[in-house]
Amino acid sequence: MNTINKEEIQKFSNLAEEWWDVKGKFKPLHMFNPTRIEYILDKSKNHFNLKGERNKLLNKINVLDIGCGGGLICEPLARLGAKVTGIDASENNIKVAKIHAKKSNLNIEYLNKAPEQMKEIEKYDIVLNLEVVEHVNDVELYIKSCYKLLKKNGIMFTATLNRTLVSYLKAIIGAEYVLRWLPIGTHDWDKFIKPEELEKNLSEQKFKTIDIKGMEFNPFTSKWKRSDNLSVNYIICSKKT
């Protein structure tokens, strides 16, 4: 059994060379990431009682970024002092991530693996699942695999898209067909997960929700912000029970 959906992996493998082009196909992620990173930092500071200089805030914190792509989240967290491991089922993505990390003089471990293929048990303080669960074959197995990789006091961040009419209009019709932010076919609306469904999956795999927030785009400022509106993008911070 595995969580790898080969068709989904191929979509992103075909775009691997564009990960670090801020005006390319991954422009939305470059715009989105600062807000996500701030959320991750805020919750991590509270959970682990982190203090000190910002550029060393995550010192000695082990982070696993699953579905890391070209390393767009791995690199900022490494600069904040974290010991980062990025894994991705796409070999092309991992190649791009390794090259960019070397250019950036960052020590990040990148592995061409899915979470169920990892041998480490309870190694990581933080596990990141950012826009991954809507692309995997088996969500339950995926979350179960994440649980095994997380330390007893660890926390996990799971970001995905809600399955609503609004998300269909904004994330698929708007982002793919109208604005052309993403290649057509990037997302399958049927694979989007409602917050209550995801929380149920997390609870069944012995996770407890700490916080849930929406992420909302303001077209007038071209910036993302946290929100209580969960109708499109949302993120859940959970811990092991």
Q: What is the 3-state secondary structure (H, E, C) of 134-181?
A: HHCCCHHHHHHHHHHHEEEEEEEEEEEECCCHHHHHHHHHHHHHHCCC
Q: What is the 3-state secondary structure (H, E, C) of 42-72?
A: HHHHHHHCCCCCHHHCCCCCEEEEECCCCCC
Which DSSP letter does residue 124 get? E
Q: How confident is the model at residue 29 (pLDDT cuts 50, 70, 90)?
A: confident
For residues 2 and 140, the answer to whether their CB atoms sit within 8 Å is: no
Q: Which of the residue ranges 13-17, 105-109, 221-225 has the most confident prediction, judged by mean pLDDT?
A: 105-109
Domain count, the chain: 1
Domain contains 167: no
Which DSSP letter does residue 120 get? -
For residues 111 and 119, the answer to whether their CB atoms sit within 8 Å is: no
Structural domain span for residue 40: 6-161+192-240
Whether residue 102 has pLDDT greater than 90: yes
Calculate mean pLDDT across residues 70-90: 96
Domain contains 42: yes
Mean model confidence pLDDT for the chain: 91
Calculate mean pLDDT across residues 162-173: 89
State pTM to two decimals: 0.91
Calculate mean pLDDT across residues 90-96: 94
For residue 163, the one-letter residue type is: R
Domain contains 173: no
Each residue's pLDDT tens digit, 34-56: 999 999 999 999 999 998 888 78
pLDDT at 179: 64
Structure tokens at 182: 């993403």
- What CATH number corresponds to the domain at position 121? 3.40.50.150
pLDDT at 28: 82
Structure tokens at 156: 């996990």
Domain contains 218: yes
pLDDT at 187: 76
Q: Alpha-carbon distance 153 to 78, whole Å?
A: 21
pLDDT at 131: 92
Max Cα separation, the chain? Answer: 46
Stronger pLDDT, 173 or 204, i.e. the higher one: 204
Distance of CA 212 to the CA centre of its chain: 15
Calculate mean pLDDT across residues 216-237: 91
Calculate mean pLDDT across residues 11-33: 84
Q: Alpha-carbon distance 2 to 29, whole Å?
A: 27
Residue 23 dihedral angles phi and psi, to the nearest 5°:
-110, 5
Domain contains 135: yes
pLDDT at 24: 84
Structure tokens at 97: 């991530």
Residues 6 or more apart whose CB falls under 8 angstroms from that of 177 comprise: 184
* Helices and strands in the chain, H and E counts: 7, 8
For residue 59, the one-letter residue type is: N
Domain contains 181: no
Each residue's pLDDT tens digit, 169-184: 987 887 766 667 666 7
Domain contains 187: no
Q: How confident is the model at residue 2 (pLDDT cuts 50, 70, 90)?
A: confident
Whether residue 155 has pLDDT greater than 70: yes
Calculate mean pLDDT across residues 145-159: 96
Domain contains 92: yes
Whether residue 31 has pLDDT greater than 70: yes
